[in-house]
Amino acid sequence: MNSILSKKRPEKHLLKSLKSNAGRNFSGRITVRHRGGGVKRMYRMVDFGQEKLGIEGGIVALEYDPNRTAYLALVEYRDGTRRYVLACDQSLAGDKIVCEENAEIKTGNRLMLKNIPVGTEVCNIELRPGKGGQLARSAGSSAKLMAHEGKFAQLQMPSKEIRRVPAECFATIGKISHPEHRFEDYGRAGAKRRKGWRPTVRGSVMNPCDHPHGGGEGRTGIGMKRAKTPWGKPAMGVRTRNRNKWTSKLIMKRRK
């Protein structure tokens, strides 16, 4: 565990019980494979938007969240209320942050895209004004503000896709905490089981009735030009994005 994290108990009034469905939908069918078991966890209610607009707050502690890759910052505002927000990289306990339409350009502060200088790294970005942050929320991720274009701001996403976002949307200065997450190693199988992951079996070692890649003698290949899912649909490298999404018209350059 990172040394900057607090060892205090999480805020009780910001916790909510989380039911484990083991990858099953409302009718009990498995819709996400290889999930189940794991240690019980409580959900931390995170303020992704700007609930305390214009009120300065101080970071009381940085805490681990079992439900996401990033760390959380417990912020206490001047009016005495406490909220969880996504912690930014290099943020420490004692730092002051504020969410305002035109705040100081400082890591952790949250302001409108139209008031942020070009070239700044931003995270926890809104797609619609007032809806709360939806983009660049995982550990170490951030987007780069490329240009201002009338009512829109051009952002380069972590995937190198360039898209337009309304300039009235809020974003947080800096990048999300815990960038070293992608280098972490579980070490043993039991550690991943405690996270709620069950064993995954390769399709090429199954029988033909169980997977399109199955069958053959010994360690044979998949026997086809391109990989398929267990249900026979093309996999790996095939576009899965819905062509009729309303946000498609805001994408200026697709990711490679």
- What span, in angstroms and rounded, lies between the C-alpha atoms of 112 and 122? 11
Q: What is the pTM of this model?
A: 0.85
- Amino acid at the residue 204: S
* 256 is a domain residue: no
Can you give the pLDDT at residue 69? Answer: 93
How many domains does the chain divide into?
A: 2
135 and 211, same structural domain?
A: no
Q: What percent of the chain has pLDDT over 70?
A: 100
Q: What is the pLDDT of residues 38-87, one digit of tens each?
A: 899 999 999 998 788 888 889 999 999 999 999 999 999 888 899 999 99
Distance between CA atoms of residues 190 and 90, nearest Å = 31
Q: Does residue 146 share a domain with residue 215? A: no
Q: Work out whether the CA dihedral 235, 236, 237, 241 comes out positive or negative.
A: positive
Q: Domain range holding 211?
A: 203-249
- Distance, in Å, from the CA atom of 150 to the CA atom of 158, rounded to the nearest integer, reads 23
Residue 199: closest CA among 189, 210, 214, 209:
189
Q: How many C-beta atoms lie closer than 10 Å to residue 46's C-beta?
A: 21
Q: Are residues 100 and 61 in the same domain?
A: yes
Evaluate whether residue 102 is within a structural domain: yes
Q: What is the model's pLDDT at position 247? A: 83
CA angle 89, 196, 206 (to 5 degrees): 120
Query: Could you tell me which residues are beta bridge partners of residue 249?
Result: none
pLDDT digits (tens, 9 = 90+) for 92-134: 888 899 898 888 899 989 999 999 999 999 999 999 988 999 9
Q: What is the mean pLDDT of the chain?
A: 90
pLDDT, tens digit, 9 for 90 and up, residues 207-230: 999 999 999 888 888 989 999 999
Structure token digits, residue 249: 């018209």
CA pair distance 158, 142, nearest whole angstrom: 6
138 and 211 in a single domain? The answer is no
Q: Please state the rounded mean pLDDT for residues 137-152.
A: 92
Give pLDDT tens digits for 13-33.
999 998 889 999 999 999 999
Q: What would the mean pLDDT of 232-246 be, rounded to a whole number?
A: 86
